Structure 1
Amino acid sequence: MKDWILENSFDFEGREVRWGVQGQGKAIVIVHGTPWSSFNLRHLIKGLSDEYKVYYFDLLGYGHSDKSENDVSLGIQNKVLAALIDFWKLEHPIAIGHDFGGTTVLRAHLLDKKPYKKLVVIDPVAISPWGSPFFNHVNKHEEAFSGMPDYIHEAIVETYIKTAAYKKLNKKTIEGIIKPWKGEKGKAAFYRQIAQANSKYTDEIQDKYRTINTPTLILWGENDQWIPVEKGIKLSKMIAGSQLKTIPNSGHLVIEEKYKELVIEIKRFIK
């Protein structure tokens, strides 16, 4: 499989954030979630960059970005996004976020006051409570998990990510997802980001959803077992005028399973 490479580097408070850009036209900023990386956005990036200039990056603690023993929580990711938007000199980009990426674009908008021309969230972690039993268990035993042999760790990651998909993932996709989490740094980073996950980061913005007046599209995998579509229905009621579109035969990893449908819906919404 051809390596997924982010050619550019941005310094955020002494920590490296890797980023890339493709295409020409109106600016789109697209943000991945957990335990994913910008690799999982490759289909959307390709599908959108034929008409738009698409900016993408790896969140702190993910993919090719800094994996040091520091803050990788949702509390810092919106600050990274806000800093990148300033660095790229984007005034009103179209913002797209999946999973934690959806939370990140929402937090940057509501807390850092970053204006968007339009907003698209895909199966976002937006409404408390959230967090699987696995998340909660790692929260309590992070050190024990990060000290496991590599082959057990990789088996855990593979088993975990498979539950995000409605249909079977192909081998290349699985390898691409797991690759950033391999090795001592990758292994520690995987459990670190789970251990730092906390609903307080959505609690502090939930009441502000009603203030959003940016045109908003909510896309949801109809068979999402991680965050059920009922959360999407609730979110659509909280954001006035928002559109909710469910994607059949897809799970939380709809960005891999039904990316063609997502590109069609996003382009239709933008236009």
Structure 2
Amino acid sequence: MLLDKTFDCSGWEIHYKIIESSPALAHSAQQTLVVVHGTPWSSIVFDAISAALLASTPNLHILLYDLPGYGQSQYYSGAQQFRDFDGDTSVAFQATALVALLEETRISNPLVVAHDIAGAIVLRAHTLHSLELKSLLLMDTNTVLPWGDGFYKLVRANPSVFLDMPPQIHEGVVRSVIRSACHHTVPQQMEDALAAPWLGAEGQRNFVRQIAQANDADVQEMLDCRAYEGKVTCAVKVLWGEVDGWIPRGKMETLVEMLGTARCGEGLVIVPEAGHLLMIDQPERVALEVGEWVRSA
């Protein structure tokens, strides 16, 4: 999906798109849904879910965007150096960028879906930047420390090694990462689309950058502020793919406990036969879960 609008934020050209339900369905109160992807993904992982929601939900507006440094939002024209790379793609900056984008688009009190590190991004924006949310749906998101599997820890510790990899080996790594996130075989078209932004010399550098700039401290700051205990002011729904090889069930259960029954009364909703990219493995089931959540918000 082409993200046809742009917003300049601290040197980043953020690409986004706002899509709406058919006017024929516009007979109820308008709702705005903001969809935030994780790493190393882009907004295209939500294409099927967004299409299903637009077809079934009246008067719904959906904001899709690629995080700064990801997908269609990789262009950086600023002068900031952060951890030996041009531009900042950390969770701390992504939260600031999300707040700025919503101010630019004049979106207030939205419903938000967040996958993977987007959970930390949105919770940081909500708890530390006072971003008001109507409701929040977290999908396979890790906001419980420590962060990252063995591969991500390896890249963070040795970014120069991964910058120097031959292009063919780098592409193999990227595609292996994508495949490892799914329980079922990733459709070739989807795999190619997810891999494409990270290929070539600049794509390889950008791929390493978003891992090297990940910082546990961005989450620890929220925990130090006891952010999940009394500072989350909206209802939260939590989904987890039953065979997610990236985030163990125990961490998701800990997150639900930290949110508490007052905010997360439904508990952990488990999607069978789904890995980390549960919206790719089980698009129909995930679309149903998201649709029910939107309609009940």
Which AA in structure 1 matches 2:244?
D
**How far apart, CA to CA, are the structure 2 residues paired with 1:236 and 1:138?**
29
Of residues 238, 253, 261, the one that matches 2:277 is: 253
**How far apart, CA to CA, are the structure 2 residues paired with 1:124 and 1:154?**
25
Aligned twin of 1:65: 73
Aligned twin of 1:228: 248
Which AA in structure 1 matches 2:227?
K
* Match status 1:18 vs 2:42: no
Deviation at 1:146, TM superposition (A): 1.5
**How far apart, CA to CA, are the structure 1 residues paired with 2:209 and 2:284?**
33
Which AA in structure 2 matches 1:40?
V
Show CA shifts across 1:49-89 (max 9, x none): 23221001111110011344211111100011001111111
CA contact (8 A) 2:115 2:139 kept: yes
Unaligned runs of 5+ in 1: none
Which AA in structure 2 matches 1:10?
F
**How far apart, CA to CA, are the structure 2 residues paired with 1:261 and 1:190?**
30
CA contact (8 A) 1:222 1:250 kept: yes
Q: Secondary structure at the match of 1:39?
A: helix
* Match status 1:29 vs 2:34: yes
**How far apart, CA to CA, are the structure 1 residues paired with 2:54 and 2:20?**
4
* Match status 1:195 vs 2:219: no
CA contact (8 A) 1:29 1:96 kept: yes
Deviates more, 1:97-106 or 1:42-51: 42-51
CA contact (8 A) 2:142 2:252 kept: no
Count of residue pairs brought into register by the alignment: 268
Deviation at 1:147, TM superposition (A): 2.2
**How far apart, CA to CA, are the structure 2 residues paired with 1:11 and 1:236?**
35
Aligned twin of 1:263: 287
Of residues 62, 69, 80, the one that matches 1:54 is: 62
Deviation at 1:219, TM superposition (A): 0.7
Show CA shifts across 1:85-107 (max 9, x none): 11111121001100011111111
Of residues 212, 236, 239, the one that matches 1:219 is: 239
CA contact (8 A) 2:14 2:73 kept: yes
CA contact (8 A) 1:30 1:95 kept: yes
CA contact (8 A) 1:181 1:187 kept: yes
Q: Secondary structure at the match of 2:8?
A: strand
Deviation at 1:188, TM superposition (A): 0.4
Of residues 177, 187, 190, the one that matches 1:173 is: 190
Taking structure 1 as the reference length, the TM-score comes to 0.95
Unaligned runs of 5+ in 2: 22-29, 77-85
Deviation at 1:224, TM superposition (A): 0.8
Please give the residue correspondences for 1:27-176 in structure 2 after superposition, counting only pairs within 5 Å.
Answer: 27-50=32-55, 51=57, 52-68=60-76, 69-176=86-193
Deviation at 1:158, TM superposition (A): 0.6
Show CA shifts across 1:101-158 (max 9, x none): 1111111111110111111110112100121111111112212211222111101111
CA contact (8 A) 2:91 2:218 kept: yes
**How far apart, CA to CA, are the structure 2 residues paired with 1:252 and 1:100?**
12
Instruction: Specify the structure having the higher radius of gyration (Cα).
Output: 2
**How far apart, CA to CA, are the structure 2 residues paired with 1:92 and 1:247?**
27
CA contact (8 A) 2:6 2:13 kept: yes
Taking structure 2 as the reference length, the TM-score comes to 0.87
Which AA in structure 2 matches 1:74?
V
Aligned twin of 1:7: 4
Show CA shifts across 1:21-72 (max 9, x none): 1114310000000010111111122122232210011111100113442111
Provide the aligned C-alpha RMSD in A.
1.3
